Amino acid sequence: MAVQIHENAAQEAAREAVKRSLKDGGIEFVRLQFTDLFGFVKNVTVPAEELDRAWEGKLLFDGSSVDGFSRVEQSDMLLIPDASTFSALPWREEDAGIAYLYCDVYGSDGKPFEGCPRGILKRVLKEAAELGYDLQVGPEGEFFLFRTDELGRPLFDIHDEAGYFDPSPVDQGEEARRDILFTMKKLGFVIEASHHEVAPGQHEVDFRYGDALSIADKWMTFKQIVKSVARRHGLYATFLPKPFAGRNGNAMHCNQSLCDADGRNVFYDESSPDGLSQVAKHYIGGLLTYATEMAAVTNPTVNSYKRLLPGYEAPTNLAWSGCNRSALIRIPQSRGRGTRVELRNPDPTANPYLVFALMLKAGLEGVKRKIEPPKEVVGSIYEMSAEERLANGIGAYPRDLQAALDSMRESTFVREVLGAHSYDIFLDVKQQEWNSFAEQVHPWEIERYWAKF
C-alpha cells in the first residue's frame, strides 16, 4: 500500500523540472542514492518513468539489509528523491544516459526515518534556521593514489614519490587529478584549488563552500568521482587516513561559518582586534567543549588515530589558533565573507552528514550558552611540555578508537543529535570493530617482542 508523502509547491515545481530534463535529455534511467549510517553510498537504479512512484512513497526497500538502518521486523523503508540534487551528467563514461538523485529515507509509516544521516543533518539545520543561522561548509578532500595489477585490483604500491605542490613529471598523478577536476566541473562543482599534497602519492582537491546539506551530498559524489576516474587511469584511490607510518595522512578539514538571513557572515566583526565576532568565539568554545564526545564520529576507524600524531600537521590537543596547524581548530587569516573556523580533526572515513550535524550542534550550543573558548594558542603545541599544556588549559584528544567510544558512550549530547537509534547502533558496531582489532596479533608485536621473550 502506498504511503502519502506530503509535498509543497516548491518541491512539486522542482520535480516537474526534473521530469522535463529527463525527457529533453533522453535519459532512460535514474540512480537513486542514499547513505548508510557509516557513510557508504547505497543506490538503486529505476527507469525514468518510475520516478513518480518514488515521489509517491511507493518505492520500498529492505532497511534491515543496510548497515545501521532497521531491524528485520521493521524492514520496509522508503526512498524519497530530493529533486534539488538532480544531475543528468554521470561521472562514469559507462553510465551515459543515467541521471542521479540523492534521497531521504522514510519509514513505512510515511515519517522521516530517525536513522537517516541526511535527515539527522536536516534536523540540526532546522534548529539553526530557527536561531537565524545557516551553516556554510567547505571540506578539503585528500586522497592517495596506488597502482593496480593487471586485473584492476589495488596494490600496496604508491603511485609516485612527489611532495607538496610538486609538478609533473614528478607528480605522476597529475593527469588523473586533471580528469577528476573536469568531471567535477561538468557536474557543477566550483573548483578552488588542486595540488599534490605533502606525502608521496597524496593529492588534494578543494571545491567551493556552500550550504551544509548540498556540500554533504557533493562530498559523497566527490569520493565516487575520485575512485571512478582513478580506476580509468589504472589506479586505485583511497581515502584511508593513514596508509603509511611516518608520512602525513588524509584529513577532511571542515571550514565553516554561520550566515544570517541576509547572507552576512556572523563570524566576522570588523571592530574586533582579530576580526572575530563573539558568535565565532562562542562557536569555537562549543566545538572544543564537545570535540572529544564527537571523536568516534569525526574519526570513526582504528586507522583514524594513526593520523592524529604530533609532527604531521594533525591535531592531538583541544586548542584553537590563528597561526599554526597543531591546534584542533585553526582560524585562517581571511576576513569579511571569508572569515571561517577550520575544524582539523575529521577525516574522510567519516560520514559527512553526521560530522556536519554534530559540529553545527556543538557550535550552536556554544553560541546559546555563550561558552568562552580557552586562550588562543600561539606557539606549536607539539613542542609544549605536559605542564605547559596544562597551564594553557589544553586538553588531550582521544588517542585511539576505544577512548573515543568511551567518551561517546557518556555523551548525552551525541545521543541527542544522532537519536537513540543511530547512537546505539553506531556504538555497538564500532565497539565490535575495536574488539576485533584488539584481539589480533600484529606484525609489529612479533618483530618487537618475539625474539626477546
Mark whether 416 is an active-site residue.
Answer: no
Looking at domain 9-113, which of 3.10.580.10, 3.10.20.70, 3.30.420.40, 2.102.10.10 is its CATH number? 3.10.20.70
- Nearest-angstrom CA–CA distance, 257 and 191: 19
Task: Tell me how far the alpha carbon of residue 205 is from its chain's centroid.
Answer: 14
- Nearest-angstrom CA–CA distance, 185 and 14: 22
Which one of 12, 16, 28, 62 is the catalytic residue?
62
Q: Which residues of 178-215 are buried (b: 16+ CB within 10 A; e: fewer)?
A: ebbbebbeebebeeeebbbbbbbbbbbbbbebbebbeb
Mark whether 428 is an active-site residue.
Answer: no
Q: Which residues of 362-394 are buried (b: 16+ CB within 10 A; e: fewer)?
A: bbbbbbeeebebeebbeeebbebeeeebeebeb
Which one of 31, 231, 325, 409 is the catalytic residue?
325
Mark whether 150 is an active-site residue.
Answer: no
Q: Quick one: what percent of the chain has pLDDT higher than 90?
A: 70
Q: Is the pLDDT of residue 84 over 80?
A: yes
Q: 266 vs 169, 203, 255, 258, 364, CA distance in Å? A: 44, 32, 14, 6, 13
- Using only C-alpha atoms, what is the Rg of the chain? 22
* Cell numbers found for residue 203: 593529492
* pLDDT band for position 1 (cuts 50, 70, 90): very low
Which one of 15, 177, 196, 253 is the catalytic residue?
253
* pLDDT band for position 310 (cuts 50, 70, 90): confident
CB 322 within 8 A of CB 379: no
Q: Quick one: what percent of the chain has pLDDT higher than 70?
A: 96
- The domain defined by 124-313+349-367+401-445 carries CATH number 3.40.50.300: no
- Nearest-angstrom CA–CA distance, 68 and 32: 19
- Nearest-angstrom CA–CA distance, 9 and 13: 6
Which one of 104, 142, 174, 217 is the catalytic residue?
142
- Nearest-angstrom CA–CA distance, 423 and 409: 9
For residue 38, give the nearest of 5, 74, 68, 12 by alpha carbon. Answer: 68
131-135, 216-220, 313-317: least confidently modelled range:
313-317
Answer with the residue of higher pLDDT: 428 or 6.
Answer: 428
DSSP codes of every residue in 250-262: ----EEEEEE-TT
Residue spans per domain, the chain: 9-113, 124-313+349-367+401-445
- The pLDDT value recorded for residue 59 is 83
* pLDDT band for position 238 (cuts 50, 70, 90): very high
Which one of 342, 347, 365, 400 is the catalytic residue?
342
Mean pLDDT of the 18-38 span: 91
- The pLDDT value recorded for residue 70 is 66
* Cell numbers found for residue 19: 521530469
- Nearest-angstrom CA–CA distance, 61 and 225: 26
39-53, 364-378, 380-394, 412-426: least confidently modelled range:
380-394
Mark whether 142 is an active-site residue.
Answer: yes
pLDDT in tens, 368-412: 999 999 999 887 788 888 888 888 888 899 999 999 999 999 999
Which one of 140, 171, 174, 400 is the catalytic residue?
140
- The pLDDT value recorded for residue 291 is 98
- The pLDDT value recorded for residue 101 is 94
Instruction: Compute the mean pLDDT over every residue in the chain, rounded to the nearest whole number.
Output: 91
Mark whether 344 is an active-site residue.
Answer: yes
Q: Which amino acid is at 2?
A: A
Residues 6+ apart with CB under 8 A from 221: 87, 91, 187
- Nearest-angstrom CA–CA distance, 351 and 344: 15
Q: Is the pLDDT of residue 129 over 90?
A: yes
Q: 167 vs 175, 176, 196, 214, 376, CA distance in Å? A: 11, 13, 8, 32, 36
- The pLDDT value recorded for residue 72 is 46
CB 4 within 8 A of CB 110: yes
- The pLDDT value recorded for residue 159 is 86
Bridge partner list, 268? 276
Which one of 82, 171, 174, 204 is the catalytic residue?
204
* pLDDT band for position 91 (cuts 50, 70, 90): low
* pLDDT band for position 367 (cuts 50, 70, 90): very high
Q: 220 vs 33, 357, 424, 452, CA distance in Å? A: 10, 15, 24, 47
Identical topology for domains 9-113 and 124-313+349-367+401-445: no
Mark whether 12 is an active-site residue.
Answer: no
Mark whether 49 is an active-site residue.
Answer: no
Mark whether 157 is an active-site residue.
Answer: no
Q: Which amino acid is at 243?
A: P
Which one of 118, 196, 344, 347 is the catalytic residue?
344
- The pLDDT value recorded for residue 4 is 53
Mark whether 325 is an active-site residue.
Answer: yes
The angle subtended at Cα 116 by Cα 33 and Cα 109, nearest 5°, is: 100
- The pLDDT value recorded for residue 330 is 94
Mean pLDDT of the 125-138 span: 97
The angle subtended at Cα 46 by Cα 45 and Cα 48, nearest 5°, is: 125
CB 117 within 8 A of CB 351: yes
Residues 6+ apart with CB under 8 A from 388: none
DSSP codes of every residue in 395-407: EEPPSSHHHHHHH
- The pLDDT value recorded for residue 298 is 98
- Nearest-angstrom CA–CA distance, 251 and 307: 8
Most confidently modeled of 14-23, 128-137, 170-179?
128-137
- Nearest-angstrom CA–CA distance, 317 and 280: 20
For residue 358, give the nearest of 140, 127, 121, 141 by alpha carbon. Answer: 121
